[in-house]
Chain A
Amino acid sequence: MLRLLQIEFIKLWNNRASKVLIISYFVLLTSIALIAAIKFDIGPVQFHLADQGIFNFPYIWHFNTFVTALFKLFLAIVIVSMMSNEYSNKTIKQNLIDGLSKKEFILSKVLTVISFALISTIFVFVVSMILGLVYSDYNEVSIIFSDMEFLPAFFFKLVGFFSFCLFLGILVKRSAFALGFLILWTILEQVVFGLLGWKVMSWEAAKAIKRFFPLQSMSNLIKEPFTRLSAVQNIGQQIGEDMKFDYHVYWYEFLIVIIWTAIFIYLSYALLKKRDL
Chain B
Amino acid sequence: METILTVNHLTKKFGYLTAVKDLSFTIEKGNVYGILGPNGSGKSTTLGIILNVVNRTSGDFSWFEGNTSTHDALKKVGAIIERPNFYPYMNAIQNLKLVCKIKDVPEAKIQEKLELVGLWDRRNSKFKTYSLGMKQRMAIASALLNDPEILILDEPTNGLDPQGIHQIREIIKKIASQGTTILLASHLLDEVEKVCSHVIILRKGENLYSGPVDSMLASHGFFELRAKNMDQLQELLEKNASFGKVEIFNGTLTAYLKEEMDAESLNKMLFEKGIVLSHLVKRKESLEEQFLTLTKNN
Contacts and interface: CB of A to CB of B under 8 A. Distances in A.
Interface of A: 3, 6-7, 10-11, 14-16, 89-91, 93-102, 104, 273-277
Interface stretch (B32-40, B67-75, B184-192, B215-223): B67-75
A276 B53 contact: yes
Given A99-B72, A274-B55, A277-B48, A15 B89 contact: yes
Interface in B32-87: 48, 51-55, 69-75, 77, 79, 81, 83, 85-87
A259 B98 CA distance: 33
A214 B146 CA distance: 44
B87 A276 contact: no
A14 B94 CA distance: 8
Interface stretch (B101-109, B162-170, B251-259): B101-109
B154 to A, nearest CB: 10
B85 A93 contact: yes
A6 B89 contact: no
24 contacts: A3-B104, A7-B102, A10-B90, A10-B94, A11-B98, A15-B90, A16-B89, A90-B83, A90-B85, A94-B85, A94-B86, A96-B53, A96-B71, A97-B51, A98-B74, A99-B72, A99-B75, A100-B71, A101-B52, A101-B69, A275-B55, A276-B53, A277-B48, A277-B53
User: Which of B14, B71, B104 is packed against the most chain A CB atoms within 10 Å?
Assistant: B71
A47 to B, nearest CB: 47
Interface residues of B, number: 33
Given A14-B94, A101-B69, A3 B52 contact: no
Contacts of B71: 96, 99-101, 104
Contacts of A274: 55
A112 to B, nearest CB: 14
Contacts of A10: 90, 94, 97-98, 101
Contacts of B142: 98
Contact of B99 (A90, A98, A101): A98
Contacts of A16: 89
B81 A97 contact: yes
Q: Tell me if A's interface is mostly helix, strand, loop or mixed.
A: helix
A170 to B, nearest CB: 15
Contacts of B97: 10
Nearest to A277: B53
Interface of B: 14, 48, 51-55, 69-75, 77, 79, 81, 83, 85-90, 94, 97-99, 101-104, 142
A7 B101 contact: yes
Contact of B89 (A14, A90, A104, A273): A14
B95 to A, nearest CB: 9
Contact of A7 (B51, B74, B86, B98): B98
A97 B79 contact: yes
A96 B101 CA distance: 13
Contacts of B51: 96-97
Nearest to A100: B102
Nearest to B88: A89
User: Which of B83, B87, B94, B104 is packed against the most chain A CB atoms within 10 Å?
Assistant: B87
Contact of B85 (A11, A91, A100, A275): A91
Contacts of B69: 101
A276 B54 contact: yes
Nearest to B83: A90
A253 B111 CA distance: 53
A91 B87 contact: yes
Contact of B87 (A11, A93, A98, A99): A11
A243 B249 CA distance: 104
Nearest to A16: B89
A275 B14 CA distance: 12
Contacts of B75: 98-99
B86 A91 contact: yes
B93 to A, nearest CB: 10
Nearest to B45: A276
Q: Lowest 6 CB-CB distances: which A-B pairs, in order? A: A99-B75, A101-B71, A99-B74, A90-B85, A94-B85, A277-B53
